[in-house]
Amino acid sequence: MAGELAPSPVLSDALVILGAAGIVIPVFARFRITPIIGFILIGVAVGPFGLGSLVERVPWLTHITITNPEVLAPFAEFGIVLLLFAIGLELSFNRLWQLRKLVFGLGALELLIIGSSLALLFGLSGTLAWPGALALGFALAFSSTAMVLPISGTRTPVGRAALSMLLFEDIMIVPIIFLLGALAPNAQAEGWEGLFTTLWQGGLVVTVLLVVGRVALPRLFAQAARTKSPELFLAASLLVVIGASLATAITGLSPIVGALIAGLLIAETEYHTEVELIMEPFKGLALGVFLITVGMSINLVEIGAQIGTLAVAVVGVLVFKAIVTGILLRLMGARRGTAAETGVMMASPSETTLIVLAAATSALVIDQETARFWQTVTAIGLTVTPLLARLGAVIARKVDGSPTDLEDDGDEPRTIIVGGGRVGRLVADMMRVHAQPYVMIDSNPDLILEAKRDGYRAVFGDAVRGDALARLGVESAPAVVLTMDEPVLAQRLVTKLRREYPELLIVARARDPDHAAALYRAGASHAVPETLEASLQLSEAVLVDIGVAMGPVIASIHAKRDEYREQLEREGGLSEKPRLRTRTSTAG
């Protein structure tokens, strides 16, 4: 009877994971430390080389350890799939096309130079035969999508450079694994034949996904939205990402290719923001599982026994990759700070390294002992990636003279202007004319340095990520003005601000009337379309110049502006919904 009532191993493992998430996220957020390190440390503690090694002597530890680490592997893979899906939601086909030179130029050079250089080193040193040297060299050349992009984002210069290289690496996973099959003893012909089959079948599946997705996805999500059921919307989102991933995986391509395509297709619809919000908790938890599996692979006893050799290997890989990546970025025209920060952040090996090492071991081109050593090197590299990101940011500020993140000593309530470009400066100018306090924030250090030199009150920071706006006092700000020319980013930030600060006055720049309506739906107090304002100013100029009195012209312009604003509010579904127009301010 007692055996029947005992909790199943699956439930016990689920309890450990959820308990780890409940502890790690709030505790590390309290000290402003990335939870990535926390999840890895939890994995070390609850894994087979931590408390799990004591289960036989202390049986009750079974309830706070992972009893079957292999069971978590599919969930860890799902976390990577959801991450690529989220990246796709942040992109668009137009933006991806703009990155093509970086992806196939910078990305190809980075992988080829680092992989071939390391392979040459291992081959000439006699450590490995040439097939094994090639496998290990290219395995270590990969960088971690799961670790780097959540830290860097995709909107900053560092994030764009990292995204370009990581996208090319993700594309090259399948050819490299098939190449290992071709290098395996007595398997050359089958390996090349399998590669060609995968390429044409994968290309066909990707084409079908692109064509069918453009037609079917808007209708699918429109139907889900009409039901007003969050559960159905979530089910539709999971159906799309899992279906696309399975479609590419069946042909032999990586499932993350399908996930990225699914995200790109949904990003082209008006439902992308809702999909992103509803999938965010699942992505975070699934990535947490992946990070726990990384920690579980770290054997502290083994590390202690080989500490000297491991330290040399880890430092050697990190330094070499950082230098090569940094030099390539400088040759491609990147700033010194961007090159340095990206190089250091991309220096660690990847979760893909573990996959390639496993494939190389199966193909008998790398022996088990060598693979296990470099798996430990990879796990250590993944663990220190957040620290590398911090180090890279410090080095970037040193070599580039970039302003310190959020260096601002003001504590008075002031309007926050997000974006330091032409429009943001104009808003700041008008604030100064009327003696209203303000602060400008932008993630482009060049814009901030220039703005500071010109006398603007400006700070460096990413308004979308972390608590940047909270540290600038958004809870007491009279208003937040969004001036950036990035529709997806603006809509996401409006949604976040409205959710966290229901009474905040949010004024947003819109690209066109459709974007303005979307911003109103997201919670903007005012959305100002550029096309509308340009038309009104043209009308004012021509009417005055042909002899119409200035007073009636200005009055008619104001009337027409109000008319269009009401129309946009109706299109945004806000005609019957009261919304805050002003906010009492203690400033000025």
Structural domain of 464: 415-571
Rounded Cα gap, residues 79 and 282, in angstroms: 8
| Residue 38, in any domain of the structure | no
327 and 458 inside one domain = no
All residue ranges of the chain with pLDDT < 50 are 1-4, 186-191, 402, 404-407, 409, 576-588
| Residue 578, in any domain of the structure | no
Domain containing residue 164: CATH number: 1.20.1530.20
Number of structural domains (the chain) is 2
What pLDDT is recorded for position 39? Answer: 78
User: At which of 343, 375, 400 does a domain end?
Assistant: 400
Sign, CA dihedral 141-171-156-386, equals: negative
What pLDDT is recorded for position 74? Answer: 76
| Residue 49, in any domain of the structure | no
The whole-chain average pLDDT of the chain stands at 78
What pLDDT is recorded for position 569? Answer: 65
What pLDDT is recorded for position 9? Answer: 65
382 and 490 inside one domain = no
Rounded Cα gap, residues 489 and 483, in angstroms: 11
Q: Which two tokens stand for residue 43?
A: 């994995």
| Residue 552, in any domain of the structure | yes
Rounded Cα gap, residues 467 and 120, in angstroms: 45
419 and 395 inside one domain = no
DSSP per-residue letters across 362-411: HTTSS-HHHHHHHHHHHHHHHHTHHHHHHHHHHHHHHHH-PPPBT-----
What pLDDT is recorded for position 266? Answer: 84
Rounded Cα gap, residues 492 and 496, in angstroms: 6
447 and 309 inside one domain = no
What pLDDT is recorded for position 339? Answer: 87
What pLDDT is recorded for position 409? Answer: 47
239 and 384 inside one domain = yes
- Count Cα atoms within 13 angstroms, Cβ side, for 376: 21
| Residue 495, in any domain of the structure | yes
305 and 366 inside one domain = yes
442 and 311 inside one domain = no
**In 3-state terms, what secondary structure has residue 238?**
helix
| Residue 15, in any domain of the structure | no
378 and 466 inside one domain = no
328 and 419 inside one domain = no
| Residue 28, in any domain of the structure | no
329 and 476 inside one domain = no
Sign, CA dihedral 484-488-490-493, equals: negative
203 and 98 inside one domain = yes
356 and 445 inside one domain = no
Domain containing residue 481: CATH number: 3.40.50.720
User: At which of 400, 425, 446 does a domain end?
Assistant: 400
Rounded Cα gap, residues 294 and 459, in angstroms: 36
Q: How far is CA 279 from the centre of its chain?
A: 14
In terms of DSSP H, where are the helices of 251-384? 255-267, 272-296, 300-305, 307-331, 336-345, 351-362, 368-383
| Residue 62, in any domain of the structure | no
